[in-house]
Amino acid sequence: MKKVANKPLKNIQTVKTRRSSTLQNIVLDWFFKNGRDFPWRNTNNVFFILIAESLLRQTQAERVVKPYLNLISKFQDPQSMSQANVIQLREWFHPLGLVRRADRLVETSKILICDFNGKVPDRIEQLKELPGLGEYSSRAVLCLAYNAQVPMVDESSGRLLRRIFNLRSERPAYSDHELLELARKLLPKGLARSFNLGLIDIAAVYCHSKNPGCSPCPLVSLCTYGQDRGV
């Protein structure tokens, strides 16, 4: 196996002058041709996106499609969700292992009614205070629903960026400030949504924690990890 000397990225600003433009173009081109299709990606309804992100926490996207579609067909806004029968929702979610999320969705809807006039806030600190949302999901709501120029870094896309730029950290990707700053600097202006989703999808398809598919990955030519593997 070919060995390449590790060269950690010491200055995040160097991303602007080294690989950012090429990486942006590859990710966007791949996403427009191959991006995964999920129903919550085809709406601008901020409450629907909030529902999706609440369900998606630590859950495979494919498992969320059916409950998401059922929920948005029955509950169109925070007002209707706030009046939902929590016991029935728990029974509905039980086979998916998402029982607690029924309670959180109802609680969140009540907070939106009481504190935000029935609207989903557009500030990250307010979103993070809602039950069932965290750092990543709050950023996802901002980016997907409000087109905010913010990075969305989950564990898979975080692993992809760390491998490309040879970053070392034991912190969760969503709270790694160096990683988030790197992701922010990589965002192409006006295309944050597509770029964020592209990174997530490329990571999901190729950049597995074990046995990654480096050879067919569109970013392998830019990736320190891939080059270390001799791909």
**pLDDT (tens digit, 9 = 90+) per residue, 173-182?**
888 999 999 9
Arithmetic mean of pLDDT, 222-228: 90
Residue 203 tokens, joined: 């990571």
Contact 24, 16 (CB under 8 A): no
What digits encode the pLDDT tens for the residues 27-65? 999 999 999 999 999 999 999 999 999 988 878 889 889
Size of the chain in residues: 231
- CA 76, 81, 83, 86 dihedral sign is positive
Q: Mind listing the domains of the chain with CATH numbers?
A: 12-36+149-228 (1.10.1670.10), 39-146 (1.10.340.30)
Lowest mean pLDDT across 42-51, 92-101, 121-130, 139-148: 92-101
Of 7 and 157, more confident: 157
Least confident of 7-16, 76-85, 138-147: 7-16
**pTM for the whole thing?**
0.88
Amino acid 101: pLDDT: 85
Kindly provide the b/e burial profile for residues 137-168, where b requires at least 16 CB atoms within 10 angstroms of the residue's own CB: bbbbbbbbbbebebbbbbebbbbbbbbbbbbe
Q: Is the pLDDT of residue 183 over 80?
A: yes
